[in-house]
Structure 1
Amino acid sequence: MVLALARAELKLLLRNKTVAVSSLLMPILVGLWAGFNLPDDASPQAWAITLCLQLLMVLGFTVYFAVTAALASRREDLYLKRLRSGEASDAVILAGLLAPVVLLGVLQSALMLIISISMGAPVPAPAPLLAALVLGTGLCLAAGVATSGRTSSSEQAQITTLPLFLALMGGVMVAIVGPTWLPLPGGGVGGLIHHAVTGEGDALLPAASLLVWIVLFSLLAKAWFRWEPR
């Protein structure tokens, strides 16, 4: 049932031009632009900043924005209400609806990493890199579900997601100036990527920061998420 819902949701996502462009095209273009603007002898620090930017763009657009826009749209056209009238539980419905953006996010992140390594980026340490992807995805899923409760349409998602999107992108500053920016939602991702590429710092504090944000947004999602229009 989850797979059937996921296939249907993927088709709906790709049919929505706003979501498709923002979730699929934008992260790829920004990621390629960031990579091509680095010199051939770029330092590990420079590559850490670039990889952090690439991953946060994927998480921000492909996961966070897509989840917010999709759930808001499905709620307003009563699709969520119709799904709940069937045999599927709430958990199964959400898993089926969120699975496509997780898959797209993982594929785009892998593509960005392969492109960057082929252009000369150091191979990141796998453990902190995987932690950044998994915890960052969890953060953006929880935040997307929460924000969708304050969003009435996929078009309005371009406005309601902006504050947190900027806070996510602030995680790049961790790779530039250090842990001062770690408390931001994207700070944990920036700290883990910086550690994975340069070996500097540690992974425990950034991971703990992400876990705190995941718990916070999960609580907000439980309080704000609505299955039907008001």
Structure 2
Amino acid sequence: MSTAVLALSSAEWKLLMRNKTVALSATLMPLLLGLLLGTNVPGSADVRIWSATLTMQLLAVQGLTIYFTVTAALTSRREDLYLKRLRSGEQSAAAILAGLLSPAVVLGFGQMVVLFGLSVGLGAPLPANPLALVLAVIPGIALAVAAGAATSGRTSTSEQAQITTLPWLLVLLGSAMWASMSDSPTVVLLPGGAFGDLVHRAMSGVDLLGGLPAFGVLVAWIVLLGLLARTWFRWEPRA
């Protein structure tokens, strides 16, 4: 990571922590929600229940810590002309975005590690196949970043992000809940369902090759949202 990216990341972290709404949604809420979910699982729960719980914990972090923070941060930096000033400098667009988005990604990844450790401490089994869990988490993070960049292009102010992010959060968490209650193969076509399918296979170790369609679905969603982000993203304030 270059010096410029590190400097941007440090400055962005300080800006994020000054915004009470973003700081609360990115730090306290995901951990509290994850703790609530984990402590409500019975001690004798089987792998399927823990898989569903872990899915919701991880998606809560991806949705609140990464997706919402990326949306609000990019919108706020655009509206105060910070993005425009950065874009007129020597740094490339990739370096600028890497510096601005890495704090949310690093924070989210750290929270997912904490919540996973908490779940194991509360009785969750260790993954039968850790690689499958990685194949769920990494695309999940990429999906949250792409969705945040796309949503910021349709968001006028950082305060409005509390509204514009709701549809994707409902799709993400709602499809995961639906997948935990249904055996229908169609739920894997939705992002939360595909993510939950990979987490369950990681925890149970059952039919790992059968998780390739779910992984493909996540990649397809990343590509779609990446294209939308490229189309909608703005470096200057919306008219």
TM-score, length of structure 2 as denominator length: 0.93
Corresponding position of 1:204: 212
**Aligned partners of 2:220, 2:101: CA distance in 1, in Å?**
21
Q: CA RMSD in A?
A: 1.1
1:108 matched to 2:116: no
The answer on 1:30 being equivalent to 2:33 is yes
Q: How does 1:49-128 map to 2 (within 5 A)?
A: 49-124=52-127, 125-128=129-132
Amino acid at match of 1:130: V
Does structure 1 residue 168 correspond to structure 2 residue 194? no
Asked whether the equivalents of residues 187 and 194 of structure 2 are also in contact (C-alpha less than 8 Å), the reply is no
SS at structure 2 position matched to 1:82: helix
- In structure 1, C-alpha distance between the alignment counterparts of 2:48 and 2:120, rounded to whole Å: 14
Contact 2:151–2:165 (Cα < 8 Å) also in 1: yes
Q: Match for residue 197 of structure 2? A: 191
Question: Which amino acid is the alignment partner of residue 189 of structure 1?
Answer: F
- Structure 1 residue 156 displacement after superposition: 0.5
Q: Which residue of 1 aligns with 2:231?
A: 223
Q: Deviations over 1:102-147 (max 9, x none)?
A: 1011100000000000111011121111111100000111110000
C-alpha distance after superposition, 1:63-98 (max 9, x if no partner) = 111000000000001110111121111110001001
Native 8 Å contact 2:5 2:98 kept in 1: yes
Q: Deviations over 1:3-25 (max 9, x none)?
A: 11011111111111111111111
1:181 maps to which residue?
187
Quick one: distance in 2 between partners of 1:119 and 1:107? 18
Q: Deviations over 1:22-80 (max 9, x none)?
A: 11111101100011111111111110110000000000001111000000000001110
Is residue 173–residue 190 contact of structure 1 (8 Å, CA) maintained in 2? no
- Give the distance between the partners of 1:57 and 1:196, measured in 2 at CA: 19
Give the superposition deviation at 1:172: 3.4
AA partner of residue 192 (structure 1): L
Following TM superposition, by how much is the alpha carbon of 1:183 offset from its aligned partner in structure 2, in angstroms?
1.4
Amino acid across the alignment from 2:93: D
Residue 224 of structure 2 aligns with an amino acid whose one-letter code is L
In structure 1, what is the Cα distance between the partners aligned to 2:235 and 2:135? 31
Show structure 2 runs of 5+ residues with no match: none
Identical pairs, percent: 56
1-structure distance, mates of 2:38, 2:170: 21
Work out whether residues 34 and 50 of structure 1, in 8 Å CA contact, stay in contact via their aligned partners in 2: yes
Q: d(CA) in 2 for partners of 1:84 and 1:183?
A: 37
The offset of 1:177, in angstroms, is 1.9
